[in-house]
Structure formats: C-alpha cells, structure tokens
Structure 1
C-alpha cells in the first residue's frame, strides 16, 4: 500500500508533534510547591504561574543574593541573577524569614512567619524586585 506525499507528510507531522508535546508540558509546569524546611523565592508573581519558572529555595541565611542564580523548573541553573528579582515567597522553614532590600540585611524589609505565602510582594515593605538578602530566624 502506497501513501500519497500529502498523507506521508501528515503522518510525519503527527509523529513529530507527539514527541514534542511532553517536553512542552513539562516546561509549563511551575515549581510552585515549596517543601517543608525551606523558604522558596520566585521570580514571578503568584509563584511563577504563567511566567518563566525561575525559583530558589533556602534553608539558611544569605546576606547577599548577587552571587545566586535562579533555578529553572528542572533544577538547572538559569544563569540569571536573583538580586532584586523576587516577586513572591513561600515560607515552610518552621520559623520566620525576613527579606531585605539591601545586601547585609539593611533597608526596607518584610518578615514572613512559618507557613505564610505571598504571591504579590508589591503589597509589602520589601516590594517587588527589591530583595537582596534573606534572614531566616531559626536560632
């Protein structure tokens, strides 16, 4: 049985779509879950829903985020600096965590208690895209 050129092209295109579709679905899945014992920061509002999925989790203080890069959805390095790029936060560390405007824990700041979430940092003192340090208060 011979296929016409048009039918063969359609079958090839359908096979190619089948291979590409799962990879596309994986990229669209945000890393919005924040596991216990961590404070998770997100580059986008609402924990990156509908945006580039850049995130990072912390278990201890970091006085200067300029040397940290966001992680991609697949845990790979995005090579994009976190400094002044945080738009949402989830706190699952078991104690309070404070986001600071400037490195060295200075400037405007907002504190988030255990199990608190904020998908829109613009409504806090720290504001959107102004975080340069994180202080975790488990002492």
Structure 2
C-alpha cells in the first residue's frame, strides 16, 4: 500500500512538471511569423514573447483603431481595444506602412518598409502604446 501511494505521488509530480514546464518558457506567439500580404501588430514587445498573446493582422488602412479589438491566441475576440496598445510590428504587406500617434493619420509617426520588423516601438517616433491609426501605402 505504501509503495503504490509513493508511486502515485511520483506520477503526480511528474505530471505537474510536464504541465507547468512548457508554460514557463518564454516563446514568441505562433502569430509572430506574420504571413505575406499582411501587417501584423502585437500588444506586447518582441511580438508578445512571454506576454499576453494579443495580436492582429491587417491588410488595409485604418484611420481609427479605437473601434478595433485584439485577437487572442486562439483567434477569438479579446474585447480589448487596440488603440494606444501596440508594442511591436511586422510588415509583410509588400509596401511601406506608417503607424500614427493619433486617429486620422496625424501626430508623431514611424514608417516601416516591406519586410521590416520592430519588436520594441519605444525606440521610434510613434512610441510604445501610442498608435491610433495605420496607413498602408500600397492599398
């Protein structure tokens, strides 16, 4: 009887380790790849590495992000606004993209050429968590 309880404890500990260990690793979002023909934006720096996995991919201009919500890791609606909440970007659209500080393509801005990435927008004019509109030049 003691041996089976001890064995059950070892199995339970091994199961707990197996479940917890992968969650502890800081990996980039699967959406951090960003497929061609899209601009991908992320709520977290470094494309959400080790953070809440809120993301969105865009194919057209948006003059006011206040009415857009992030998607969760499972593509469901997060019900959290994207406005003033973008921390990193990948540009795969095929042309330049400009992130603007204010709605209507105004205020401080940063432009990203095709195939460029920035995992930390705080080092740009638009800044971290300050984007309110996105201008895609080729659309």
Using the size of structure 1 for normalisation, the TM-score is 0.84
Q: How many residues align?
A: 138
Q: Distance in 2 between matches of 1:126 and 1:48?
A: 19
2:93 counterpart residue number: 93
In structure 2, relative to structure 1, the CA distance for the partners of 1:24 and 1:120 (3 Å cut) is closer
- TM (norm. structure 2) is 0.84
Give 5+ residue unaligned stretches, structure 1.
none
The aligned residue for residue 126 of structure 1 is: 126
Give the aligned CA root-mean-square deviation in angstroms.
2.5
Secondary structure of the corresponding residue to residue 4 of structure 1: helix
Distance 2:122 2:8 in 1: 53
Query: Which consecutive segments of 4 or more residues in structure 1 shift more than 2 A?
Result: 1-18, 20-25
Structure 2 unaligned regions, length at least 5: none
User: Deviation of residue 6 (structure 1)?
Assistant: 4.0
Q: How big is each residue's C-alpha offset from its partner over 1:99-136, in whole Å with a ceiling of 9 and x where there is no partner? A: 11111111111111111111111111100000011110
Alignment of 1:30-109 (within 5 A): 30=29, 31-109=31-109
Distance 1:67 1:74 in 2: 20
